Amino acid sequence: MTIKQKAEILSEYFTSVFTNEPQGNIPEPKHIPLDKKIEELNIGTDLVLKHLQKIKKRINHPALIILHPRLLFEVKEGIAEPLGIIFSQSLTQKVVPKDWKSALVSAIFKKGNKSQAKNYRPVSLTSVVCKIMEKIIREHIINYMKENKLFSNKQYGFISERSTSLQLLEVIDKWTEAIDNGYEIDCIYTDFMKAFDTVPHRDDSLRKSKILG
């Protein structure tokens, strides 16, 4: 089997994993009264430079990268200002450059039979420049969410200063308390297969973001 044939098999499988958008109405999210809305994001030279200084200069698959992050790091002082202008224009015009939407997909083996496409996970390598803008936007949103206490106390992943270890400590503490009080503990573990690949992106789902500011 040629490399091209292998790529086509993997591509066909990865595409099949994505589900169709669900029909019907999405439940209306709970309205949370807020004292203020999220402020407009101003992307200046200093902000871009801060993120360029954090860029990873080593990558696992250099052959798949068109613009190596090491190059961006070495010329960071010279490109910070023009990148800030491009990022600001992208937000103002609500347009993302076409090249930033393209990705090189690498198939990462998980477990099981290596000859079966279902045992591989697609990892998309997108534009390094676009990732910098995404990190700036994410940081702005995260700070707003934290300031207004909009994160659930039950969320431990993808938030700084929280982790699965902290989650386990809290759960074990509750279990220990229940056992000390003479109660029995029943646990149900669930998992969503290919959760990140099957999340729908209907416009209705953006209503929650609007309600949160």
One-letter amino acid identity for 207? R
Question: Which residues constitute the domain of residue 29?
Answer: 3-150
Answer yes or no: is 141 within a domain. Answer: yes
Mean pLDDT of 21-41: 70
Most confident of 101-110, 111-120, 149-158: 111-120
Does residue 198 have a pLDDT over 80? no
User: Is residue 192 one of the residues assigned to a domain?
Assistant: no
Token pair of 83, please? 């990148």
Question: Residue 114 in contact with residue 124, Cβ under 8 Å?
Answer: no
Domain tally for the chain? 1
Residue 125 lies in a domain: yes
In a domain, 14, yes or no: yes
pLDDT band at 63 (very low <50, low <70, confident <90, very high): very low
Residue 9's nearest CA partner among 157, 120, 169 is: 120
| Distance from C-alpha of 88 to C-alpha of 80, rounded to nearest angstrom | 12
Answer yes or no: is 163 within a domain.
Answer: no
pLDDT value at 140 more than 50 = yes
pLDDT reported for residue 15 = 82
Q: Crossing angle of helices 128-147/76-93, nearest 10°?
A: 70
Each residue's pLDDT tens digit, 175-186: 999 999 999 999
**Residue 92 placed within a domain:** yes
First to last CA, the chain: 52
pTM of the shown model? 0.75
Q: What pLDDT is attached to residue 203?
A: 55
Tell me, yes or no, whether 87 lies in a domain. yes
The predicted model gives 140-159 an average pLDDT of 86
Distance CA 184, CA 31 (A): 37
Asked whether residue 162 is assigned to any structural domain, the reply reads no
Q: How far apart are CA 144 and CA 150, in angstroms?
A: 8
| Res 129 pLDDT > 80 | yes
